[in-house]
Structure 1
Amino acid sequence: MERIALAEVRERTYKKRDSWWTVLLVDPLASRLTRWIAPYRWFTPNRITLLGFLVGLTAAAFFALGGVRENNWWLVAGALAYHVSFVIDCIDGKIARLNGTGSVFGAWLDYVFDRLRIVACTIGLMGGQYAATKSIVYLVLGGVVVFLDMFRYLNALENAKVNRELKTQLVEAGLAAKHLPTGPEAETDGNPDRVSMLAMVDSSTVGLGLFHRMRVALRRSRIRPHLVGGIEFQMAVFIIAPLVGAIVPVTVVAGALMVLFELALIYMLYQGTTAVARQLAAAGNGAIPAQRTPEAEPVAARS
Structure 2
Amino acid sequence: MTSFTLADVRERTYKRRDAWWTVFLVDPLAARLVVWTANRTSVTPNQITAGAGVLGAGSAVCFALGTWPWLVAGALLFHLSFVLDCMDGKIARLKGTGSVFGSWVDFVFDRIRFFGCMLALLIGQWALTGDVLFLLLAPVVTFLDLLRYLNGAQVGKTRQTMRTRLRAAAEGRAQPAEEDPENTETEARSEAGAEQRGEQAPDAGTDDAGAPVVFVEEVLRENPALDHEQAHARSAESGARVIDVHQGFTRKFGWYGRLRSTLLRSRVRPHLFSGIEFEMFVCVVAPLTALASAAVPGADLVVPVVVLSCAALAAFEALIVYKLWLATRDFAAEMSRLGAG
Shorter-chain TM-score above 0.5: yes
Paired with 2:223 and 2:48, the residues of 1 have a C-alpha distance of: 26
Choose 38-47 or 220-229, whichever is displaced more.
38-47
- CA RMSD after TM alignment: 2.1
Query: Cα 1:273–1:233, aligned 2, differ >3 Å: closer, same or farther?
Result: same
Q: Is the 8 A contact 1:170 1:179 kept in 2?
A: no
Determine the structure 2 residue equivalent to 1:186: 221
Q: Which residue in 2 is equivalent to 1:241?
A: 286
Name 2:17's counterpart in structure 1.
Answer: 17
Contact 2:248 2:326 in 1 (8 A): no
Please give the secondary structure, in 2, of the residue aligned with 1:173. Answer: helix
Letter in 2 for 1:156: G
- Offset of 1:24 from its aligned partner? 0.2
Match of 2:69 among 63, 70, 73: 73
Give the superposition deviation at 1:41: 6.8
Q: Aligned letter for 1:185? A: L
- Partner residue, 1:33: 33
Partner of 1:276: 331
Task: Give the distance between the partners of 1:99 and 1:8, measured in 2 at CA.
Answer: 11
Q: Match of 2:269, SS?
A: coil
The residue aligned with 1:158 is: 154
Deviation (angstroms), 1:168: 2.2
After superposition, give the CA deviation of every residue in 1:72-118 in whole Å (9 maximum; x if it has no partner).
11000000000000000000111111112222222221111111111
Change in Cα spacing, 1:183 to 1:205, as seen in structure 2 (3 Å) is closer
Aligned-residue offset at 1:285: 1.9
Aligned counterparts of 2:260 and 2:310: Cα–Cα separation in 1: 22
Identity between Structure 1 and Structure 2 (%): 47
Deviates more, 1:101-110 or 1:167-176: 167-176
> Does the aligned pair in 1 maintain the 2:249–2:326 contact within 8 Å?
no
Aligned residues: 274
1:215/1:270 Cα in 2 relative to 1: closer, same or farther (>3 Å)? Answer: same
- What residue identity is the alignment partner of 1:91? M
Deviations 1:59-79 (A, max 9, x none): 0110001x2xxx211000000
Alpha-carbon separation, structure 2, partners of 1:124 and 1:188: 42
Mapping for residues 1-303 of structure 1, pairs under 5 Å: 1-39=1-39, 42-65=42-65, 67=66, 71-174=67-170, 177-181=212-216, 185-187=220-222, 200-203=245-248, 207-245=252-290, 246-286=301-341
CA gap of 1:258–1:119, structure 2 versus 1, over 3 A, is same
151-160 vs 224-233, which moves further:
151-160
Residue identity matched to 2:221: A
Name whichever of 245-254 and 98-107 sits farther off.
98-107
Q: How far off is 1:274 after superposition?
A: 2.4
Contact 2:62–2:70 (CA under 8 A) maintained in structure 1? yes
Match of 2:229 in 1: none
Deviations 1:218-274 (A, max 9, x none): 010000011011111111111111111211000111110111111111111121222
Q: Are the structure 2 counterparts of residues 264 and 187 from structure 1 closer, same or farther at C-alpha, using a change threshold of 3 Å?
A: farther
